[in-house]
Each structure stands twice: as structure tokens, then as C-alpha cells.
Amino acid sequence: MEVESSFGPIDVAISGLRAQGKQMKVISSNIANARTADAGNGEPYRRLQAEFETDDDLGGVKVYKIVTDMSDFLRILDPGNPMADQDGYVDMPNVSLPVEMINMNIASKMYQANVAVLKRYQQIIENTLELLR
């Protein structure tokens, strides 16, 4: 017996909140490491990207994996840096701040949208409960 199928939309909206929260975490990691020339493995930090997936039909959304962006590193001229090569260039992470900012805007708007759905659905159920007065 399905006990409470009428609360499905709440779970879906919450899954949206969780996924967008994780996306924000990934973006903040990218921004925090935008100038990390050594990520511990001798290579500069590689930009991360969260991939979303539908959590089986009408089950909401989830981040199913976080992939690393394999595009080329940014090369900057910094001869004074101890990590510079013979020509004075240093490899820097492939993070582009404008892109991260736009993604952050999208993520926060998506979060707000899910909160709006949650609030509205709560209101709808409360209206139904008004009939019970």
C-alpha cells in the first residue's frame, strides 16, 4: 500500500534543492581552486563539473557523478614562480571565473525555483486541508 503518494512533489522539489546544493559546492570548489597550480598530484587543479540525472520517472533529480573537465590548462607567464618551466610559463587550472559565475547564478536561481515549488505545493495542500474545517 502506498501510504502517502500525495507528498511526491515535496520529495521531487527537495531532490532539486539537494542537487543544486551539490552543484553550488562544485562551483565553489572550482572558484576556490582557480589559482591552485598544484592539486597534490603535480598537476594544476582540474575544473569539476556536476552531471545531473533523472532519478527514475518522477523521482526528481540527482547528481550521478562529478566529472573532471579535461580541457587544456591556462598557461601564464610568471618567470619568478618556482614552478615555471624554461620559458617562464606556469600551468594554471582550466577554471574560467566568468563561466563559474554564470553557473552559480543558474544554480541559485534553480534552487529558488525549487523552493518556490515547495512553498506553492505546501499552500495547495493547506488549501485542501481547509476543506476539512
Binding positions for other proteins, rule: CB under 8 A: 1, 3-4, 7, 10-11, 13-14, 17-18, 21, 118, 122, 125-126, 129, 132-133
> Which one, 1 or 70, has the nearer CB to other proteins?
1
Least Å from the CB of residue 4 to other proteins: 7
Least Å from the CB of residue 92 to other proteins: 27
Least Å from the CB of residue 38 to other proteins: 22
Q: What would the grid cell of residue 73 be?
A: 590548462
> Which one, 103 or 114, has the nearer CB to other proteins?
114
> Which one, 74 or 117, has the nearer CB to other proteins?
117
Do the beta carbons of residue 74 and residue 91 sit within 8 Å? yes
> Which one, 6 or 71, has the nearer CB to other proteins?
6
